[in-house]
Chain A
Amino acid sequence: MYDTNYHRASSVEEAVKLRSSQDEARYLSGGMTLIATMKQRLAAPSDLVDLRHVASMKGISVEGRKVRIGAGTTHAEVASSSALKSVCPAICHLAGMIGDPHVRHMGTIGGSVANNDPAADYPSAVLALNATVVTDRREIVADDYFQGMFDTALEEGELITAITFEAPEKAGYAKFPNPASRYALTGVFVAKGASGVRVAVTGAGSNGVFRATDIEIALSASWSSDFVASVAVDAGQLMEDMHATPEYRANLVKVMAKRAVAMAG
């Protein structure tokens, strides 16, 4: 790892100020991606601004159907939240499938959404739940937020403080994990709520998370696994790597969508 300077912030304002005072500074949340990347010398931030001690970025609140998850909330906390389980168990299920228990004790929803890894789990939930990404300066709707692999609408120094959404009527998530890394080889989050049916796919798209509109149309007509089977998934925009061909991923999109619908009930 290259040398770096560590700073610990205790408030959102302090974090943003510390971050903006150095050109090459980065926010550090759980660090489950960033520290690993730094160890490989694939990232070399001059300064790190630790967010783990910013109290206002932690915790889950559920008021009626309105959900707010602080950006600093860990995967383990989301996975085990009974308040969240009562209105949207699918997101708890998703969080419980990220990495391993030790990674889930450190990694956070804000870190995952800010990083927007094309094979991360959370981006699919944020997109399918039509969630809002709340930052230190504005609110960004999910459809505007994700802009490609590791690319988001976040400006330089902008800090995610929370993810909010309206709990859906039904939702489900299924993923085919890469057996070694546990990242999604393909993961599909389905949701049926006030904004209609939304289906988001992670791990498969060559441009990051995306909405599977054909499956959305099929499920809007009839919410059943059988209707997913009739949809043709185009392999044209899907990823090709050593783990799977685009055609294999196209099939996985359908299989995972069917399982996600079955889980949603």
Chain B
Amino acid sequence: MAKVTLTVNGRTMSGECDDRTLLVHFIRDKLGLTGTHVGCDTTQCGACVVHMDGKSVKSCSILAVQAAGSSVTTIEGIASQGELHPVQAAFNQHHGLQCGFCTPGMVMTAVDMINRHGGQLDEVTVRHELEGNICRCTGYHNIVKAVLSANEEMHGASRQAAE
């Protein structure tokens, strides 16, 4: 058994687990944060995407002990003071989901994508960058719309502030 301590959504959290415990199971079962989903369990679907030290990763393919000492952000950690994150709001507004199972991973992927591209996102790039996330309901159309809209919201706003 290992004692794993890490920062999750800004709070220091600890839990005991086997060395072989996957990060996603640690987050869900030990920390009780069940927003992060397990879809395929084979690194394909992206339902388990969280951010580790600011980068999107598939938490079903990382051991909890590997993440010890790092800073993890899950879907529960992106809204602030009851306000949805702009990406969450855009998924809502554009109906970027149907059953909602893939949504936590899609949203965390979109946040990472928008941060990395510094506002320079177009439809082709968004579709390409979604290659690690699978949705079996919506056909991706509204997801792409939501990501582009959130990108505009987040970077449009910062451009305005700069002017």
Q: Do A and B come from one complex?
A: yes
Residues of chain A contacted by B160 (CB below 8 angstroms): none
B63–A105 touching, CB < 8 Å: no
A36–B112 touching, CB < 8 Å: no
A102–B63 touching, CB < 8 Å: no
Query: Is A85's CB within 8 Å of the partner chain B?
Result: no
Contact partner, A105, options B57, B66, B129, Cβ 8 Å: B57
Residues of chain A contacted by B129 (CB below 8 angstroms): 101
Segment among B40-48, B90-98, B135-143 that sits at the interface with chain A = B40-48
A36 to B65, CA, bound (A): 16
Segment among A1-9, A141-149, A191-199 that sits at the interface with chain B = A1-9
Query: Is A50's CB within 8 Å of the partner chain B?
Result: yes
Residues of chain A contacted by B46 (CB below 8 angstroms): 100, 102
- Number of chain B interface residues as a range: 20 to 34
Residues of chain B contacted by A180 (CB below 8 angstroms): 44
A6–B65 touching, CB < 8 Å: yes
A36–B43 touching, CB < 8 Å: yes
Segment among A27-35, A150-158, A255-263 that sits at the interface with chain B = A27-35
B131–A182 touching, CB < 8 Å: yes
Query: Is A59's CB within 8 Å of the partner chain B?
Result: no
A102–B56 touching, CB < 8 Å: yes
Residues of chain A contacted by B37 (CB below 8 angstroms): none
Mask: chain A, 45-87; 1 = CB below 8 Å from B; 0 = not = 0001010100000000000000000000000100000000000
- The residues in B between 24 and 66 inclusive whose CB is less than 8 angstroms from any CB of A are 41-44, 46, 49, 55-58, 61-63, 65-66
Query: Is A217's CB within 8 Å of the partner chain B?
Result: no
B61–A32 touching, CB < 8 Å: yes
A58 to B56, CA, bound (A): 19
Query: Is A17's CB within 8 Å of the partner chain B?
Result: no
Residues of chain A contacted by B2 (CB below 8 angstroms): 6
| A32-B19 in contact given A100-B132, A101-B109, A106-B61 (Cβ < 8 Å) | no
- The residues in B between 63 and 82 inclusive whose CB is less than 8 angstroms from any CB of A are 63, 65-66
A31–B57 touching, CB < 8 Å: no
A28–B112 touching, CB < 8 Å: no
A101–B20 touching, CB < 8 Å: no
Contact partner, A102, options B42, B66, B132, Cβ 8 Å: B132
- Listed A/B pairs (10) with beta-carbon separation below 8 Å: A1-B20, A3-B20, A31-B63, A35-B61, A76-B55, A100-B131, A102-B56, A102-B109, A105-B55, A105-B56
Interface, chain A (partner B; CB < 8 A): 1-6, 8, 28, 31-32, 35-36, 38-39, 48, 50, 52, 76, 99-103, 105-106, 180, 182
